[in-house]
Amino acid sequence: MHLSLGFSPCPNDTFIFDALVNNKIDTQGFTFDTQLEDVETLNNWALQGKLAVTKLSFAVYLKVKDQYDLLNSGSALGRGCGPLLIARKDIAKADISQLTIAIPGENTTANLLFSIAFPEAKNKKVMLFSEIENAVLSGAVDAGVIIHENRFTYQQKGLVKLMDMGEYWEQTTGNPIPLGGIFIRKDVPADIRAQLDSLIHQSLQHSYTTYPQLSEYVKSHAQEMDEQVMRQHIDLYVNDFSLDLGTEGKAAVVALMDAAAQIRR
């Protein structure tokens, strides 16, 4: 069976899908039209139902739940892995709602977590995640919500952390942070869904058999990251929840959906 499949070029996603899309495991007859895109692009495509299988921010789930179902494998969910709010200098939390804030996409979980913490902050500027650090440095924005590998580089550029949005979520809800998951369109038959879910699980297990060695597939898409940062990225965002969401992971997703629904009222 041939399916369209979308995920990000970030190391956590390429690490998970490497074995599956590069035939390092038995794909059981599945072939893929693979699209590697920034997660906000994937979020926007999902609003159109473009891809059969896709990585999405959990924040967009409410908008696409009539078209897509969540798979158990492949998610980015955990503790201590949330987005960070950064600036050039320390700023009082009471003043943050008055600032211009760069966000990595309207439909990202990063924006949702920021909105939960600062519901009065409305002056947001959508940017590609990799451009936010420089926008903060240049003064184009007052502060920015950073994700992915920028968590490991902002201090080297002289930027400071104002808040760990994931830490705020964990402290206020007790749940791990649901960042993104793998979703499949509802028109894909149930038996195919189950088979694919199992293959994603197997693909991740295969990548772990050679880790911490990094495959050329992971390195080639890592946007000039050095290997240490790639491993930090994988260690932060890939874990047991990525193999299987389980009861705790699913409960965290429901809690985030409830919070999103409250904000949108």
Residue 20 annotated as lining a ligand binding site: no
Q: Tell me 112's DSSP state.
A: H
Token pair listed for 225:
């990251």
Q: Tell me 180's DSSP state.
A: E
Instruction: Give the C-alpha distances (Å, rounded to integers) separating 242 from 51, 124, 126, 175.
Output: 21, 31, 28, 16
Residue 55 annotated as lining a ligand binding site: yes
Which residues are the active-site residues? Answer: 148
**End-to-end Cα spacing for the chain:** 41
Report the C-alpha gap between 220 and 138 in whole angstroms: 29
Residue 117 annotated as lining a ligand binding site: no
Report the C-alpha gap between 67 and 202 in whole angstroms: 26
Residue 27 annotated as lining a ligand binding site: no
Report the C-alpha gap between 70 and 53 in whole angstroms: 10
Residue 73 annotated as lining a ligand binding site: no
The Cα diameter of the chain in Å comes to: 56
Enumerate the known binding-site residues for substrate.
Answer: 55-57, 109-110
Binding residues: 55-57, 109-110
